Structure formats: C-alpha cells, structure tokens
C-alpha cells in the first residue's frame, strides 16, 4: 500500500530544522499540499508536555517525528540526563497522542546511536539489540530506541501503523555549526575556517582519528524519509545510509584539502573517540521502498563548506 500525499494533513515535528526543511521540500515534490503541512516549533510547542502532543496530533493524517534534542560527543557527555529525558518524553507522548487521535501513519526517525558499541560492520537492522550502545551517547540512543519498541507494541495491540527509520550521521548546508553542540562535519568545517581566519598553523581535533563514520547528505536523508512515508508499512526498523565508510583521519584530510588548509593536524588522544566504526547495511531500504543515496560525498562536502563560508558571521 502506497500513500497518496496530495490529500493528507501532515505534521512534521522539527520541520523548521536542518533536516525538517529538506523533508518538507521532498514532501511537496512527492505531491503533498504545502498548505496541509504543519510544523511544530520548540518555542511554542514543547513536545515534552503531553497536552502539547495531544494538541498538535489532532486532525493529522501523518506525523513525521524529526524533533530531537541532539548534539555531538561533547553535549552527550555534559547533558546525558537531558538528552535521555527530552527525547524519550517527546517521542513516547507524541506516539501515544497520535494513536489516540486516530492518526493514519506515524514515521519515527531514530538514530544510529541506538546500535550496540561493537556491531558487525556493516550494521544490519537485526543487530540492533545485540549489545549496549557506545557509552558517550547511550542515554540518547536508548531513549530513541525505546520508541521503536513502543511503535511495535502499538502495532501489535492497536494495529497502529508506525514505522521506524534509522538514518546514519547527517550533514549538509544549514547544519548546526555551533561549537558546543555540532556533529563532526560541521564542527570540523567551522574549526578549519576559524583557524584560517586566525592564521593558525595547527588544527587540534578530538580523538586519534581512527574511528570510521558514514555520512548521509541531508537531501538524500529527506528523500529516504519521504519514500518510507509513502511506501513502507512494516514493523521492522530500516537503515538509511550510503554504505560508504571513511575514517575520521581521512575525513579531516579531505575537509582540509577542500578548504585549502595546510596546517598540522594535532590529535587530542585524551579526548574520546566515540564508537569505533559506523557503516550501515542499506539493503532493506533498497528492497522495501527503493531508496539509494545519490549525492557524492565530496560534492556534498563542497556544498556544505560553501554554505558555511557564505553564512559564517
């Protein structure tokens, strides 16, 4: 069963954010009526409050839940309690409110941090429960993983159609470049840019550069989310990724090369590395609803760097 988006009232939580704006653009491209898309904003719609979730879920046909309190290793170390509570409460209450309001479909966007610390690479969805997540982001990862359990339980008991998508690390223009909460790519781009502005000859970076990561361009991720919204209706979680793995060391070298920074990279080995390897098996998304990533990684980085340079204050 595929959904015709044209007549659907769609709520996108976090729709004003980095990924959310892309998802809305992809929804419209897939036939949704822009006038029937509602976006929640954290300033006026605190989804940690049950009454807010009940209000925003009313009269919606589809809810795409992107809103999250999220950041890099630094934020996860400083605010693990907040990250656990905020993400769990937003998701649990919104799913329950959606069920109560008779919402036709709930699309929950989870996190790669839900995977166990030591997972065979590439990560397969069936390995999601084979161990504890990497410690620095476990509270966040477990809070988001609990929503998968809730959706599967509500499907079993109430026949509620909720799906769970697992995008790998995202990047792209309009990303969060704040130094206290950004992820690795925007953090590195900003760091290199500021080093160049100051004329620094050294670039200090966290960890030893050995971990590997996979990155998905935000436009690709949004397309995958919309394809899943339209064409996927099963209980099992689905990875969204590229299947391309790069070490942090190689990533830093590539960003420095693209930004013409030729200083020395200084690895701060007393800082945490995070999960040793991250790379997804993307077969299920391909088979279930035909999703494959399209944007070349180097081109995606160039686009992101260009956007940051244009918008850096």
Please identify every residue annotated as catalytic: 140
d(CA 157, CA 135): 33
Q: Is 213 annotated as a binding residue?
A: yes
From the number of C-beta atoms within 10 Å of its C-beta (0-12, 13-18, 19+), residue 313 rates as: exposed
- Virtual torsion, Cα 196, 308, 74, 138, nearest 10 deg: -140
Q: Is 139 annotated as a binding residue?
A: no
Residue where the block lists tokens 């937003």 = 90
Q: Is 191 annotated as a binding residue?
A: yes
197 and 148 Cβ atoms separated by less than 8 Å: no
Q: Is 32 annotated as a binding residue?
A: no
Q: 223: closest CA among 294, 303, 166?
A: 294
Q: 155: closest CA among 73, 231, 95?
A: 95
d(CA 24, CA 189): 26
d(CA 305, CA 176): 13
Q: Is 106 annotated as a binding residue?
A: no
Q: Is 290 annotated as a binding residue?
A: no
Q: Is 137 annotated as a binding residue?
A: no
Q: Is 222 annotated as a binding residue?
A: no
Q: Is 206 annotated as a binding residue?
A: yes
The contacts of residue 277 (CB under 8 Å, 6+ apart) are: 121, 211, 212, 245
d(CA 236, CA 163): 7
Q: Is 19 annotated as a binding residue?
A: yes
Q: Is 105 annotated as a binding residue?
A: no
Q: Is 20 annotated as a binding residue?
A: yes
Q: Is 277 annotated as a binding residue?
A: no
Q: Is 75 annotated as a binding residue?
A: no
Q: 238: closest CA among 121, 125, 111, 109?
A: 125
d(CA 173, CA 222): 13
SS3 280: strand
Q: Which residues are annotated as a binding site for substrate?
A: 191, 206, 213
Q: Which residues are annotated as a binding site?
A: 14-20, 144, 167-170, 183, 191, 206, 213
Q: Which residues are annotated as a binding site for NADP(+)?
A: 14-20, 144, 167-170, 183
């Amino acid at each position: 069963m595929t959904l015709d988006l044209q007549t659907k009232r769609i709520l996108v939580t976090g729709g004003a954010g980095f990924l959310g704006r892309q998802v809305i653009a992809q929804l419209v491209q897939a036939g949704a009526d822009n006038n029937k898309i509602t976006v929640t904003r954290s300033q006026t719609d605190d989804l940690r409050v049950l009454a807010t979730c009940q209000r925003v879920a009313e009269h919606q046909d589809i809810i795409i839940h992107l809103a999250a309190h999220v950041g890099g290793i630094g934020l996860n170390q400083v605010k693990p309690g907040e990250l656990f509570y905020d993400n769990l409460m937003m998701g649990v209450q919104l799913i329950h409110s959606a069920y109560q309001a008779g919402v036709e479909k709930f699309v929950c966007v989870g996190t790669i941090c839900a995977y166990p610390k030591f997972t065979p690479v590439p990560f397969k969805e069936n390995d999601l429960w084979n161990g504890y997540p990497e410690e620095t982001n476990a509270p966040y990862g477990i809070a988001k993983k609990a929503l998968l359990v809730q959706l599967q339980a509500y499907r079993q008991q109430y026949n509620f159609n909720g799906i769970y998508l697992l995008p790998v690390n995202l990047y792209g223009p309009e990303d969060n470049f704040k130094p206290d909460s950004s992820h690795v790519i925007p953090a590195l781009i900003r760091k290199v840019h500021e080093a160049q502005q100051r004329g620094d000859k050294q670039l200090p970076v966290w960890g030893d550069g050995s971990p590997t990561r996979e990155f998905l361009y935000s436009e690709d991720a949004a397309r995958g989310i919309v394809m899943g919204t339209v064409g996927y209706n099963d209980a099992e979680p689905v990875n969204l990724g590229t299947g391309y793995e790069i070490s942090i060391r190689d990533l830093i070298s590539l960003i420095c090369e693209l930004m013409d920074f030729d200083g020395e990279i200084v690895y701060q080995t007393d800082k945490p590395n995070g999960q040793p390897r991250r790379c997804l098996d993307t077969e299920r998304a391909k088979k279930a609803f035909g999703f494959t990533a399209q944007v070349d990684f180097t081109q995606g980085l160039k686009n992101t760097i260009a956007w940051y340079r244009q918008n850096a204050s």
